[in-house]
Amino acid sequence: MQLFLPIAEVSVNAFLLLGMGGVVGFLSGMFGVGGGFLITPLLFFIGIPPAVAVATGANQVVASSVSGVLAQLKRKAVDFRMGFVLLAGGMAGSVAGIWVFARLSAAGHIDVFVQLSYVLFLGLVGALMLHESLRSLLRARGSAAPVRRAHTHTWVHRLPLKIKFRASGLYVSVLPPLLVGALVGFLAAIMGVGGGFIMVPAMIYLLGMPTRVVIGTSMFQIMFVTAFTTVAHAVTNQTVDILLALVLIMGGVIGAQLGARVGVRLRAEQLRILLALLVLVVCVKVALDLLLTPSEFYSVTAGRLP
Amino acid sequence: MIRLVALWLLLAAPAAASDGEQIVAGLSQNAVSITASFVGSEILIYGAVRRESPAPTGAPLEVIITVEGPALPQIVRRKDRRFGIWINRAEVTIDRAPSFYAVASTGPLELILSNTEDLRHKITIPRAIRAVGIAAEAEDAPTFVDALLRIQTDAGLYSRAEGAVALTEDTLFRADVALPANLIEGDYRVRIFLTRGGVVVDALERRIGVRKEGLERFFTRMAFEQPLAYGLLALVVAVVAGWGAAAAFRLLRP
């Protein structure tokens, strides 16, 4: 069944979209990630204009984080004060991202910029995850694990403007969380992702937050930042396609429920290796599009009448 | 049916008309609706040639039909390798090029249409594109126009079908023109030309309105006219769908 998307102005197979949403939802439920980093490149591959794919990807992340946040709230696993600091940074980053996005779209460089961002961040995060999980797998097999101190003092703790984050048991400067939030907000606007893959490691290793509150707090921030980004894209670029988002979300929610059930049966290290490999595969696919000689050197974009 | 209509038109035609050959034509539809299930459309263009005197002898009668979508500025960009990756470097803005253009004819255009007439009526695809002053924008500007033609042709937006117009007994003609799914909204211009020996004898113009309808229309108008409300609606849809479906799943599971 073909479905004509009003904003993307292309006709695509509704079942293909539903299936894509389902598969990404399945993976995100299994690995506990938002899935934005998979949805957006997949939309590029099936011919959705990048601007629409990014803005609609952000909208899809809103849907997938809502149910997650509710579950985390019940568990009291959200550090609200930290969440709001991250959110303030996120909004600022998102505004900057939207502005850069609009400027680059006009100059015709948005596709390359989005693709490069994907290659850079997916490559970095995928490689780090693979390295980390392989090491922990080897460690589990071999000798005793090295002692890791719960709280180490680094340069982060010497910065000014310190405040107390009770739920996390931290007394740190607001600058690092603001910056982390801003980076994530920027990526949300440019790449249509939630940015959990950047924020979660940053919260654990940079800020030293306890793992207990990391997921809930990051989801809390992601939900509001992607919501803000969706509205900002709708207002500045008119590139949010509700129909496209709706079909993706439908598939995604069902897939996520099934994925979560499969996920609990697998071991954490195996899951992380699989996720790392998946991230790297997407990274390589996007990179090849940039590196290989294209079959058509020219592209056409319809302008607007003056 | 078409033949009957044509015959009736031939017989009922006022006797005072000029002595030349005139086109009488109709379209299978005057409007095309883009709905959620739109996969393209096919329009039938039919008609007849009305004559007051016997058909002239000599050069045979030929028919050319064009269907043209709204013209827009088109930005053509070329990729070049920089730092190992392929990025857009040169760019040329073509003032106005039709978003859709189909030419159907009874025979090869080179034979049935003279260059002067093509220039005057802008019938073939390259003539329908207005690219003024592009030479200053890039070194090899004409290749950008060629690229536009190639890309739009590959996307099914530009087409040239020689022999696609069926002409019966130098009087009745018909052609089917396929409109693809990736149409833009606007008034589509249908032109019919009669030629003899490369010279246009008569021309006729009709319009087809291509409009989004239903849900498509609602979302597009809202997105451009009330973007804030549209953005908020997108959020509501996301929250309700995300939360609602998760809740439904929980109910289904014992």
C-beta of residue B166 within 8 angstroms of C-beta of residue B130: no
Q: In the predicted model, is pLDDT for residue B42 greater than 60? A: yes
- The minimal CB distance from A242 to the residues B75, B233, B243 is found for B233
Residue window 190-229, chain B: list those with CB within 8 Å of chain A: 212, 215-217, 219-220, 223-224, 227-228
Which residue in this structure is represented by tokens 């069926």? B166
* Cβ atoms of residues A40 and A193 within 8 Å: yes
Between A40-54, A77-91, B134-148, B219-233, the lowest mean confidence (pLDDT) is in: B134-148
Closest among A78, A67, A80, A96 to A229, alpha carbons compared: A96
Overall average pLDDT of the B215-222 stretch: 86
**How is A162-210 classified by DSSP, letter by letter?**
EEEETTTTEEEESHHHHHHHHHHHHHHHHH----HHHHHHIIIIIS---
Please report the pLDDT score of residue A94 as a whole number.
93
pLDDT at residue A149, rounded to an integer: 52
Query: What is the 8-class DSSP label of residue B43?
Result: E
Say yes or no: B41 contacts chain A, CB-CB below 8 A: no
Q: What distances in angstroms separate CA A45 from CA A38, A91, A239, A286, one per listed residue?
A: 11, 29, 17, 9
pLDDT > 90? residue A259 = no
Q: In this structure, is residue A281 part of a structural domain? A: yes
Using a CB-CB cut-off of 8 Å, the residues of chain B touching A258 are none
CA B58 to chain A, closest CA, distance in angstroms equals 45
How many structural domains compose chain A? 1
pLDDT of residue B1: 57
* B156 compared with A231, residue with greater pLDDT: A231
Cross-chain CB nearest to A242 (options B84, B237, B242): B237
pLDDT of residue A186: 93
Distances, alpha carbon A299 to alpha carbons A111, A197, A302, B75, B151, in Å: 11, 33, 10, 8, 8
- Classify residue A98: in a domain, yes or no: yes
Residues 141 to 180 of A: which have CB under 8 A from any B CB? Answer: none
What residues contact residue B145 under an 8 Å CB cut-off, 6+ apart?
A: B76, B92, B94, B126, B129, B131, B134
Predicted pLDDT of residue A102: 87
Contacts of B77 by beta carbon, 8 Å cutoff, 6+ apart:
A108, A298, A299, A300, A301, B88, B89, B90, B91
Is the residue at A148 inside a domain? no
Q: What is the mean pLDDT of residues B195-199?
A: 88
pLDDT score of A161 more than 80 = no
**What domain range includes position A248?**
2-140+156-289
Q: Token pair of A270, please?
A: 């195996």
The residue with greater pLDDT, A182 or A162, is A182
Token pair in block for residue A222: 């992601």
User: Is pLDDT above 60 for B13?
Assistant: no
In this prediction, what percent of chain A has a pLDDT beyond 90? 14
ipTM above 0.90, yes or no: no
Structure tokens at A281: 């595969």
A227 neighbourhood in chain B, CB within 8 Å: 235, 238
The strand pair at B85-98 and B71-82 is best described as antiparallel
Within-domain flag for A270: yes
Q: What is the pLDDT of residues A51-74, one digit of tens each?
A: 899 899 889 888 888 877 887 788
Is A238–B224 a contact, with Cβ atoms under 8 angstroms apart?
yes
The whole-number average pLDDT for the span B246-254 is 73
Look at residue A149 and tell me if it is in a domain: no
The reported pLDDT for the residue numbered B235 is 92
Which position has the higher pLDDT, A244 or A128?
Answer: A244
CB distance A227 to B235 below 8 Å: yes
A272-278: Cβ within 8 A, 24+ apart: A272/A129, A272/A132, A272/A133, A273/A130, A273/A133, A273/A134, A273/A137, A274/A31, A275/A31, A275/A33, A275/A129, A276/A126, A276/A127, A276/A129, A276/A130, A276/A133, A277/A126, A277/A130, A278/A27, A278/A38
Sheet-wide strand order for B21-27: B21-27, B41-51, B172-179, B166-168
- Which of the pair, A162 or B125, is modelled with greater confidence? B125
Report pTM.
0.78
pLDDT (tens digit per residue) in A188-246? 888 888 888 788 888 887 888 887 788 888 888 888 999 999 999 999 888 899 999 99
Which tokens sit at B198?
Answer: 């490369």
- Residues 6+ away with beta carbon under 8 Å from A300: B74, B75, B76, B77, B147, B148, B151, B152
Window from B80-89, B172-181, B207-216, B232-241 with minimum mean pLDDT:
B80-89
Using CB atoms, which residue from A232, A246, A305 is nearest to B73?
A: A305
Torsion of CA A61, A67, A69, A72, to 10 degrees: -140
CB B14 within 8 A of CB B50: no
Q: Which tokens go with B88?
A: 């857009």
Based on C-alpha coordinates, what's the Rg of chain A?
A: 20
CB-based contact B129:B104 (threshold 8 Å): no
pLDDT of B14 strictly over 80: no
**Residue A298, domain member (yes or no):** no
Nearest to A100 by CA among A229, A283, A6, A198: A229
- Whole-angstrom distance, CA of residue A185 vs CA of residue A94: 4
Q: Which of A141-150, A254-263, B189-198 has the lowest mean pLDDT?
A: A141-150
Q: Tally helices (H) and strands (E) across chain A.
A: 10, 5
Q: Confidence band (pLDDT; 50, 70, 90) for B8?
A: low
Quick one: pLDDT at residue B68? Answer: 92
- Per the CB < 8 A criterion, the answer to whether A17 and A248 are in contact is yes
Q: Which of residues 225-284 of A touch B (CB under 8 A)?
A: 227, 230-235, 238, 240-243, 245-246, 249-250, 253-254, 256-257
Q: Are B203 and B27 in contact (CB under 8 A)?
A: no
Question: Residues A12-35: what's their mean pLDDT?
Answer: 84
Q: Residue A147 falls within a domain, yes or no?
A: no
Query: Quick one: tokens of A27?
Result: 């993976």
Q: Which residues of A touch B80 (CB under 8 A)?
A: 297
- Taking a C-beta distance cutoff of 8 angstroms, is the pair B96, B46 a contact? no
Q: Is the pLDDT of residue B17 over 50?
A: no
Mean pLDDT value of segment A299-306: 72
**Which of B72, B84, B227 has its CB closest to that of A303?**
B72
What is the distance between the alpha carbons of residues A7 and A242, in angstroms, rounded to a whole number? 8
Q: Say how many Å lie between the first and final Cα of chain A, rounded.
A: 37
Strands B158-162 and B166-168, sheet pairing: unpaired
Contact A27, A35 (CB under 8 A): yes
Chain A CB contacts of B212 under 8 Å are 6
- How many beta-carbon contacts under 8 Å exist across A and B? 185
Position B16 scores a pLDDT of: 35
- Where is B12: in which H helix or E strand? helix B2-12
The stretch A71-89 carries a mean pLDDT of: 85
**Whole-number pLDDT of residue A139:** 76
**3-class DSSP state for residue B169?**
coil
State yes or no: pLDDT of A253 exceeds 70: yes
| Residue A297, in any domain of the structure | no
The tokens for B117 are 């007439």
Q: Is the pLDDT of residue B9 over 60?
A: no
The reported pLDDT for the residue numbered A240 is: 92
Mean pLDDT of chain A: 83
